[in-house]
Amino acid sequence: MDYLPIFVNLKSEPCLIVGGGSVAVRKAETLLQAGGKVSVLAPDFHDKLLKLGDCGTLTLVRKAFQPQDVLGFKLIVAATDDADLNAQIAATAKTHNILINVVDQPVLCTFIFPAIIDRSPIVAAVSSGGASPVLARILRMRLESLIPPAYGRLAKIAENFRTRVKQAIEVPQARRRFWETVLSGSVAELVFAGRDDEAAERLEQAITAQTSCTENLNFGMVYLVGAGPGDPDLLTVRALRLIQEADVVVYDRLVSPEILELIRRDAEKIYAGKQRNDHTLPQAEINRLLADLAKTGKRVVRLKGGDPFIFGRGGEEIETLMNEGIAFQVIPGITAASGCAAYAGIPLTHRDHAQSCTFLTGHMKDGRLIAVDWNQLSRPGQTLVFYMGLQGLPEICSRLIKHGCPARLPAALVQQGTTRHQTVLTGTLQTLPDLVSQSGVKAPTLLIIGSVVTLREKLDWFRPSDIPRHGR
């Protein structure tokens, strides 16, 4: 280990930056954020430093550096563009046992600035020891996505209960297990959902339960998670985290194999099917299953292709959970309409083509589409998107033509959009049904109708062959 990572309390402590350029600006902002009492010494100053000085945020000292200038400071940063001067500043600081950082010269430093993830009071830092600051920043960005800002609020709630928990649970090992359960369970998820008051109440209940031993501490919860249209890169950060933390994942046919690979290895996977005329589990049984799993104290992810609230029956499932008094959260996903259209190079709206967009289900009943206002759908200046419209494609096209749409109105069918299997067929209301019939295309598909389809020729950017066979 080249450096010992420590956290220094700089609140109200005197800190000196020598140098007045853009680098000094960045260092000053960092030290001010940490609560330091900052002085900047240089013959000239960057405009941002002048503004900070004018408002009294820091002190500007307009002069050339002299060795006695280091006296009285706890920490010094040498940020000049003169290597010899930086070396002199470093040597002087070390003589007086003052912490010194020389920008881009780690050999002269007694401390270095890491890349910081600030979720105060939670703070994480990444450092390459000066070997590659850019790599450290890249790693910081990856960690940023794994540590939601709400962790700071969670830490503050935990801090408020530390004394209570210590009094209620005297054995250190038991106390550690208690916090591990609380901070990785429903209390944490309530904070992530912005429900801090409920999280505090749940933590209060957990302490009471631990004291009385009359209730299971591990509260179950169900998460309705949108898996997006197929490409795992389109998962939200929160969806990925919940998938990897779940005890049980109940998933549909439309969830891609690449996304299923992201589920942690020891989690239970339950296939719920949901294919046309072939439901592995009827909807009522899925609703019941989610409730029963949560009652055992498990973290349950109901993983759905696209978005749970757009033709995903998410509303039906949470109705059951509400009736059973089971906590739940909904994590939206990129719906197939926006994801598949974007990857097909077809904008759903465009000021020269469509000022509105309508999402419909293409499910058939007795050979007809359910509850469709064909007169409304046949009006110009709009885009129509039919989910699950493969079987009903001939009727959809013929009905639209019958109700006034031009037979030459452009239309496209997207198969397995956003994945390496993506196929796009384009034609018109008159020609597309035959093109699809001859192609052997299979579900899942998305049907897009409107003049926006003509833009695909210019905007087609996605190459499925660029995606590795086993995911990204």
DSSP secondary structure string for all residues of 124-153: EEE--TTS-HHHHHHHHHHHHHHS-THHHH
Q: Which residues of 29-51 are buried (b: 16+ CB within 10 A; e: fewer)?
A: ebbbebebbbbbbbeebbeebee
CA 245 to chain centre: 14
Using CA of residue 264, residue 266, residue 270, residue 275, what is the dihedral sign?
positive
* Full-model pTM: 0.66
Residue owning tokens 């790693």:
139
**Of the listed 231, 252, 298, 304, which one is catalytic?**
252
Average pLDDT over residues 390-401: 93
335 among the known binding-site residues? yes
The residues that bridge with 99 in the sheet, in sequence order, are 75
Using CA of residue 441, residue 442, residue 445, residue 450, what is the dihedral sign?
positive
Q: Given this model, what pLDDT does residue 192 score?
A: 87
Residue owning tokens 């249209």:
229
Confidence bin at 363 (pLDDT 50/70/90): confident
Average pLDDT over residues 65-88: 96
Cβ-contact 20, 46 below 8 angstroms: yes
Cβ-contact 129, 2 below 8 angstroms: yes
- Among candidate residues 97, 333, 162, the one with its CA nearest the CA of residue 233: 333
Average pLDDT over residues 20-41: 96
63 is catalytic: no
Cβ-contact 395, 369 below 8 angstroms: yes
Q: Which residues of 238-258 are buried (b: 16+ CB within 10 A; e: fewer)?
A: bbbbbbebbbbbbbbbbbbeb
Q: Given this model, what pLDDT does residue 219 score?
A: 57
Alpha helices in 96-226, H assignment, sequence order: 133-146, 150-168, 172-183, 186-192, 196-212
Residue 461 scores a pLDDT above 70: yes
304 is catalytic: no
Tell me how long the chain is.
472
Q: Given this model, what pLDDT does residue 110 score?
A: 94
From CA 394, how far away is CA 433, in angstroms rounded?
Answer: 5
Average pLDDT over residues 233-249: 91
Q: Given this model, what pLDDT does residue 107 score?
A: 92
310 among the known binding-site residues? yes
Q: Given this model, what pLDDT does residue 437 score?
A: 94
Burial class (CB in 10 A: 0-12, 13-18, 19+), 360: buried
Is 466 or 447 the better-scoring residue by pLDDT? 447
Average pLDDT over residues 339-344: 97
Q: Given this model, what pLDDT does residue 215 score?
A: 42
Cβ-contact 80, 102 below 8 angstroms: no
Residue 371 scores a pLDDT above 80: no
User: Structure tokens of 93?
Assistant: 């600081």
Average pLDDT over residues 99-119: 92
306 among the known binding-site residues? yes
Q: Given this model, what pLDDT does residue 146 score?
A: 79
Q: Given this model, what pLDDT does residue 472 score?
A: 42
Instruction: Fill in the DSSP letter of residue 287.
Output: H
Average pLDDT over residues 21-34: 95
Torsion of CA 232, 235, 241, 242, to 10 degrees: -100
Residue 470 scores a pLDDT above 60: no
Residue 369 scores a pLDDT above 80: no
417 among the known binding-site residues? yes
Provide the mean pLDDT of the chain. 90
Residue 259 scores a pLDDT above 50: yes
Residue 351 scores a pLDDT above 80: yes
From CA 377, how far away is CA 400, in angstroms rounded?
Answer: 7
Alpha helices in 213-268, H assignment, sequence order: 237-245, 257-260
3-state helix, strand, coil split of the chain in percent (to 5) is: 40, 20, 40
Q: Given this model, what pLDDT does residue 302 score?
A: 96
Average pLDDT over residues 424-428: 97
Q: Are strands 268-273 and 221-226 parallel, antiparallel or unpaired?
A: unpaired
Cβ-contact 331, 242 below 8 angstroms: yes
Cβ-contact 310, 335 below 8 angstroms: yes
**Of the listed 69, 231, 274, 304, which one is catalytic?**
274
388 among the known binding-site residues? yes
Percent over 70 (pLDDT), the chain:
93
From CA 66, how far away is CA 69, in angstroms rounded?
Answer: 6
307 among the known binding-site residues? yes
23 among the known binding-site residues? yes
pLDDT tens sequence across 290-321: 999 998 888 899 999 999 999 988 898 999 99
Q: Given this model, what pLDDT does residue 217 score?
A: 45
CA 278 to chain centre: 33
From CA 141, how far away is CA 386, in angstroms rounded?
Answer: 38
229 among the known binding-site residues? yes
